[in-house]
Amino acid sequence: MIGARILAILLGYVFGLLQTGYFYGKRHGVDIRTQGSGNAGATNTLRVLGLKAGLVTFLGDLFKAIFAVLVIHLLFRERYPDAVKVLELYAGFGAVLGHNFPFYLKFKGGKGIACTSGVILAVCPLAAPICLALFIILVATTRYVSLGSIVVVVAYLIQAVIFGQMGYLSIEAAYLPEFYIVSACFTAMALWRHRANIKRLLTGTENKFGVKAKE
């Protein structure tokens, strides 16, 4: 199954290369990577170009991950029925890598939260309600989008392990440890991409959603 894993990551990476925020911005004469935080993801696009742009970017980044997972599911559901969810997760991780590190943009992309949300919906939908609820509650009460994003990926990992151990993921027991490890890679990637945000959260200098940063 090594070849299937590699194919899943590569195919996911190709899907992840669709930089929704970047292309939307270029269409409107703006390089989103030179504005705001310099990030090509949905949050920065929302701040720089407005609600419509942020929503389009979020949905584009969400669905490119879902499509990557779906393609791998269709390719391998019959050949590896007990491990297809692991392959789907590899495809999702590839999509996040493509989003975060697009080669044609000098590896300067987004932070992968919208992509990861798409993977959660496609691979482990049972975890989506709690992740969404936590995100909404945290952002509504603290106005820190980064905090909500960080908690989402941690909550996903915890739930993935719980649901896996309870037998709700339809994965052969032999593949569960691998599923957990790849899931942990999503969390580790998100934490690393948010390392600057984490520092600002700890020092109380993180930008709040809807509050204009001080000059």
Asked whether the predicted pLDDT for residue 42 surpasses 60, the reply is yes
In a domain, 210, yes or no: no
- Taking only the tens place, the pLDDT of each residue in 155-171 is 999 999 999 999 998 89
Per the CB < 8 A criterion, the answer to whether 143 and 208 are in contact is: yes
In a domain, 208, yes or no: no
CB proximity list for 112: less than 8 A, separation 6 or greater: 41, 96, 99, 100, 186, 189, 190, 193
Range(s) of the domain holding residue 155:
2-203
How many angstroms separate the CA atoms of 152 and 149, rounded?
A: 5
Among residues 153, 148, 70, the alpha carbon closest in space to that of 112 is found at: 153
Q: What own/partner pairs with CB < 8 Å and gap ≥ 24 does 192-199 have?
A: 193/100, 193/111, 193/112, 194/111, 194/146, 194/149, 194/150, 197/146, 197/150, 198/146, 198/150
- Taking only the tens place, the pLDDT of each residue in 86-136 is 999 999 999 999 999 999 998 988 899 999 999 999 999 999 999 999 999
Share of the chain above pLDDT 90, in %: 73
- Taking only the tens place, the pLDDT of each residue in 58-67 is 999 999 999 9
pLDDT-derived band at 202 (thresholds 50, 70, 90) equals very high
In a domain, 116, yes or no: yes
In a domain, 211, yes or no: no
Give the model's pLDDT for residue 116.
Answer: 96
pLDDT-derived band at 211 (thresholds 50, 70, 90) equals low
Give the model's pLDDT for residue 214.
Answer: 43
Structurally, the chain folds into a number of domains equal to 1
* Share of the chain residues as helix, strand and coil, in percent rounded to the nearest 5: 75, 0, 25
In a domain, 214, yes or no: no
In a domain, 24, yes or no: yes
Task: Report if pTM > 0.75.
Answer: yes
